[in-house]
Structure 1
Amino acid sequence: MTSTFDRTVTPTRPAHRSPQVLRWLGAYTASTLGDSVFYLALSWAAVSGGTPAQAGLVMAVAAVPRALLMLFGGVIADRLGPRRVVIASDAVRCLVTLGLAATLFLASPGLWALAAVALVFGTVDALFLPAVGALPPRIADRDQLARVQGMRGLAYRMGAVVGAPLGGLAVAVGGTATAFGVAGLLFAFSLPLLSALRLRPLPREEEARDGTALRGLADGLRYLRGHPVLGPLMIVVLLSDLGFVGPLNVGLAVLSEQRGWGASGIGWVLAGFGVGAGAASLLLTVKGHVPRTGLVMGWTMVVGAVSVGALAHLPQLPLAVLAGLCVGLLAGLSGALCNALIQTECDPAYLGRVSAVASLGSLGIAPLSFPVTGAAIGAWGPGPVFVVSAAVCALSGVYGLAVRAVRRAELPKG
């Protein structure tokens, strides 16, 4: 499917040399670091101020508006423009986080204040996530979008790896108020970088603003349903997340306890996963193009599923870490390729809504599998559950390979 946007854009410079892309990347990295510091500080403050059950409730509050409002967040991103939405989102997070830091310096507001801030963050996330996914085609050429996705993956991994220790250090030095202050400053750092972005205009931009929000959402869903690549890709994303997130978030903790690896064992396996995913992002950043993209994406999902199933059958921690690295490498590569295909196949006028649907699968629907995964492990043990989860992951790859348009999908060459 070729749009006017596709025909009029010509390659200029590599993404890693583009000031526009580097500004966006710096802002995204700062925002991701701020998120990591914020949620660590929030969890610590909630545990310190209440029972574990109350702390869990505070942390869960953010997920509700994120799941309920994500699709409408995509409509807003397409109507108002992703740059405006991202700037507004980080500005709100900056002000709310710094306000909470000041409040904690002066008083002890209680768990209700933490829950209120978590609710605000969940609402803002529902707007921020589709908008940040819709920005790359407005700042980078189409043949550079795969490289941009690799750079985004590296920034996300850096936020996850550096953010938690940074937040822990801030809590140790000055308490939770200091940690919230650090998070607020990181959000503030993203604002001038985002403000300096100059976005290219899109065809059909005015059309995207017509009608009600419900009509805009319905138009986006119709566009997805009729697209030969994007519609099936949404099913691939959902199946992959459903099979992947349960074992990594719930099953790994049970497995580590049963094997006697302890909490450090979870950390080592997740570290292996992070290294593998970071290596996949680095590969895509450097290479910028993977021939036979759809075919490679499908097969890496299938092979990565084998590593997911193997995790529950490896008694030695070093082997489990190696399996985690393989999962990260293969899942990271397939996920980055999938995101890059979404970026290049989608008409940019719909990208906010399409990004919202993709994000809803991983952040809204897939987490609902956590209780099911836990109950199944309690009934049958981790082995069968990991195998079933791996089968679901493999099914996502098989489905992608079975759909001709997805199997033959290609990223543009730089």
Structure 2
Amino acid sequence: MTATPPATAAPSRAVRPAHRDPGVLRWVGAYTASTLGDSVYHLALAWAAVSGGSPGQAGLVMAVAAVPRALLLLGGGVVADRLGPRRVVIGSDAVRCVVVLGLAATLLVASPGLWVLAAVALVFGAVDALFLPAVGALPPRIAARDQLARVQGMRGLAQRLGAVVGAPLGGLAVAVGGPSTAFGLAGLLFAFSLPLLGALRLRPLPVGESTGTGSGTGTDTDTDTDTDTGTGTRTGSGTALGDLAAGLRYLRGHRLLGPLMVIVLLSDLGFVGPLNVGLAVLAEQRGWGASGIGWILAGFGTGAGAASLVLTVRGRVPRAGLVSGWTMLLGAAAIAALGHAAPLPAAVGLALAVGLFAGLSGALCTALLQTACDPAYLGRVTAVAGLCSLGLAPLTFPLTGTAIGLWGPGPVYGVSAAVCALSGVYGLVVTSVRKAELPG
């Protein structure tokens, strides 16, 4: 396949802002529908599992999806780069739609055992391993490089909407018609994303990007088209394993992407324990109750949503690498203070600060990753970032709970905050990250 002539890229055409670009808006609409469907599905699955078994069995059903997701995530990045991200996202949502609607129909006529729910959870975990790298690789193919920060802001708003609206919507569906109705609603939401994704027209892979040297320079050997027929990378051995090895070599040798992976890993290792397991312990010890957890999570969601709104409106943050490092340090300080908060309003305010600073830092890191990465490798690079966040970071859950039981929340939150702060310090010390800029 030959490279797309420069004339087809229309370089002189004015770039349309992402929030006014019909293609970006279609992608955001599809992503929002998919996120809502995911939230409704998880609530319905939890309710059906609790109704059909013991709490321990329900917890096992909910945890089953994590295994194939962690094991297959890197392979999902290879698939996204080989087949094209849009094709993989469409296939993922189509599979989720069929499986969930099938489960809804089954629940209408029978009462299957927990093994059926566990099987569905396994399928969802495997599909997530394909969906997550592909959806992360799509923004640079639908928006100009100088619009990627705004796209990340819009994606963050969609995630907040899915979290805030999805769970109550699923609860209402369960209350009205039981789990089968909720699963049916989730399936329809997945189905709604399909025509929007099918209407996307992708930008061709840019000529002149690196194909694995790690220097950010070189000549690409192939291009994609707006029909999403492959990525054009020819750096592997022709096998999936060879492509994965080529992607890891590219990531390891890149002066910006490698350090960004370290930042993602450190920040999530320090972040997820206190904001998940830690909150339940804090609420119990402080007497806040379950409603207190809800208020704290609402504060965090408000802060994260505000960070996404800032990026959506501004479109670009000058000195993005420097800002990301300092906001991570501020977020770490808020995490440490949260472990000592006694009044609930203070805890809510600190959670809002954590959401604002950590949300802004995370979105900037993602925008820098997507801007710096050769799109032919973006699925594999996104998969590595996802493995750090979804595969390795959750391993801290039992460690966090045990440590709080031994030493109390204050010291554990302090150590977790120190790990988060280390990611900010690392970003400020590494020159390639500190001086990283988003295109403007």
Query: Could you tell me how far 1:131 is from its partner in structure 2?
Result: 0.0
Residue 111 of structure 1 and its aligned partner are, at CA, apart by: 0.2
Residues 97-125 of structure 1: per-residue CA shift (max 9 Å, x gap): 00000000000011000000000000000
Q: Secondary structure at the match of 2:15?
A: coil
Q: 1:95 aligns with which of 90, 93, 98?
A: 98
What is the distance in 2 between the residues matched to 1:214 and 1:367?
26
Q: Out of 195, 199, 209, which is 2:198 matched to? A: 195
Tell me, what secondary structure is at the counterpart of 1:339?
helix
Corresponding residue of 2:46:
43
Which aligned pairs between 1:46-61 and structure 2 lie closer than 5 A? 46-61=49-64
**Does the 8 A contact of 2:94 with 2:191 survive in 1?**
yes
Per the alignment, residue 160 of structure 1 pairs with 163
Tell me the equivalent position of 2:83: 80
Counterpart residue type for residue 181 of structure 1:
G
How much does 1:93 deviate?
A: 0.1
TM-score, normalised on structure 1?
Answer: 0.97
| Equivalent position of 1:290 in the other structure | 317
- The amino acid across from 1:20 in the alignment is G
Alignment identity in percent? 78
Matched residue, 2:118: 115
Alpha-carbon separation, structure 2, partners of 1:377 and 1:265: 19
Q: Is 1:17 matched with 2:20? A: yes
Q: CA deviation at 1:12?
A: 1.7
Distance in 2 separating the partners of 1:363 and 1:263: 25
- Check if 1:369 corresponds to 2:372: no
Q: Distance in 2 between matches of 1:239 and 1:269?
A: 23
Q: What is the root-mean-square deviation in Å for CA atoms of aligned residues?
A: 1.5
- Provide the C-alpha distance between the structure 1 equivalents of 2:107 and 2:23, rounded to a whole number of angstroms: 37
Provide the C-alpha distance between the structure 1 equivalents of 2:397 and 2:22, rounded to a whole number of angstroms. Answer: 41
- Give the Cα separation in 1 of the matches to 2:412 and 2:371: 35
Q: How does 1:243-262 map to 2 (within 5 A)?
A: 243-262=270-289
Shift of 1:5: 12
Using the size of structure 2 for normalisation, the TM-score is 0.91
> Matches of 1:291 and 1:207 in 2, distance apart?
32
Deviation (angstroms), 1:393: 0.3
Q: Counterparts of 1:66 and 1:18 in 2: how far apart (Å)?
A: 32
1:396 aligns with 423
Counterpart check, 1:207 vs 2:233 = yes
Match 2:130 to one of 103, 119, 127: 127
Counterpart of 2:155, as a letter, is: R
Deviation of 1:210 (Å): 5.9
Find the counterpart in structure 2 of residue 220 from structure 1.
Answer: 247
1:9–1:357 Cα change, 3 Å: farther
Larger RCO of the pair (alpha carbons < 8 Å, separation 6+)? 1
Are 2:98 and 2:187, in contact at CA under 8 Å, matched by a contact in 1?
Answer: yes
Q: C-alpha distance in 2, partners of 1:103/1:171? A: 16
Name the aligned partner's letter for residue 177 of structure 2.
G
Aligned to 1:207, what secondary structure does the other structure show?
Answer: coil
Matched, 1:172 2:175: yes
Structure 1 residues 283 and 107: CA distance shift in structure 2, 3 A? same
CA contact (8 A) 1:9 1:141 kept: no
